[in-house]
Structure 1
Amino acid sequence: MTDRVVVAAAVYDRGRLLAARRSAPADIAGRWELPGGKLEAGESAEGGLLRELREELGVEAEILNRIPGEWPLNSGYVLRVWTARLVSGEPQPLEDHDALRWLSPDETDTVDWLDQDRPAVAEAARQLRRASGAFRPESGADEQGTERGESSV
């Protein structure tokens, strides 16, 4: 396939999925997406995704597995999504986003996702539900999705 690739991550932490609200461009500002971005020349998908998570969120992550499928984007790009586990760092909206939210699998429909992200978000939520023991929040942890900037994860 000659399409150019945009990679994104369904980032998991303590049984929750990270959502990032776009700040630009104007036609999608205010909508939510899985963080990621365009691959650079010669970059592997996994390497590019780890770089994007560092640049956009200031975190280190471990890539887990690819969510089946790919979704067409503008100008010949396709979106491919992987699940990833937060390893270190506190996610911050450093580039392209103005807010972050942690969502439980049952809260993923509470934000206005970009259309191309919806199938991957649905699959990520299914995986989180199935792995409830592996990703369950620690007792006493905040299980509610919260806007970033005012509160911590």
Structure 2
Amino acid sequence: MSTQIVVAGALISGATLLVAQRQRPLELAGLWELPGGKVAAGETEADALVRELREELGVDVIVGARLGADIPIGQSLILRAYLVTHTGGALHPHDHHALRWVGAADLDSLDWVPADRAWLPELSKRLGA
């Protein structure tokens, strides 16, 4: 069985982080996450993240350094986060229920997608907590 990489982008502006509220699937609807998606065949992780954030949020980004550790989900998914820098476009939740800017103090109070919680200590540090 092949492993599918799923990439997520941590868009930080000043001391705030962009988080997105899922619409689907039903078991994750209403939970918050770092936006992103699956890497397609023949695509680099950076290219996939640029494509996903353009599709989901309407923004252009430059992909930077890795954030935290890989997070295995089930038998065949690996979730991997990267820091991203907004370079153009206007944020819009095309594929999410809502978008929100949050500070370090807000991270623990959000109802996160379970896998993304592993990145909270690193995100907190990046936000200057």
Whether 1:99 and 2:102 are equivalent positions in the alignment is no
Q: Provide, for residues 80-106 of structure 1, a one-character-per-residue CA deviation record: whole Å limited to 9, x for no partner.
A: 0001122222211101x1101100122
Secondary structure of the residue aligned to 1:91 is: coil
Matches within 5 A, 1:67-106: 67-74=67-74, 76-95=76-95, 97-106=96-105
What is the deviation of 1:18?
0.6
Normalised to the residue count of structure 2, the TM-score between the two structures is 0.92
What is the deviation of 1:75?
5.2
AA in 1 matched with 2:45: A
Q: Provide, for residues 102-144 of structure 1, a one-character-per-residue CA deviation record: whole Å limited to 9, x for no partner.
A: 00122112210111101223312212217xxxxxxxxxxxxxx
Partner of 1:115: 114
Runs of 4 or more consecutive aligned structure 1 residues displaced over 3 Å after TM superposition: none
Matches within 5 A, 1:1-153: 2-74=2-74, 76-95=76-95, 97-129=96-128
Q: Provide, for residues 47-99 of structure 1, a one-character-per-residue CA deviation record: whole Å limited to 9, x for no partner.
A: 1001100000000112121013111124511100001122222211101x110
Could you tell me how far apart the structure 2 residues matched to 1:121 and 1:91 are? 23
Among all aligned residue pairs of Structure 1 and Structure 2, give the percentage whose two residues are the same amino acid. Answer: 38
Which structure is higher in strand share?
Answer: 2
Could you tell me how far apart the structure 1 residues matched to 2:18 and 2:122 are? 14
Q: Is the 8 A contact 1:10 1:121 kept in 2?
A: no
What is the deviation of 1:15?
2.0
Report how many residues are paired: 129
Secondary structure of the residue aligned to 1:55 is: helix
- Structure with higher Rg: it is 1
AA in 2 matched with 1:30: G
Secondary structure of the residue aligned to 2:127 is: helix
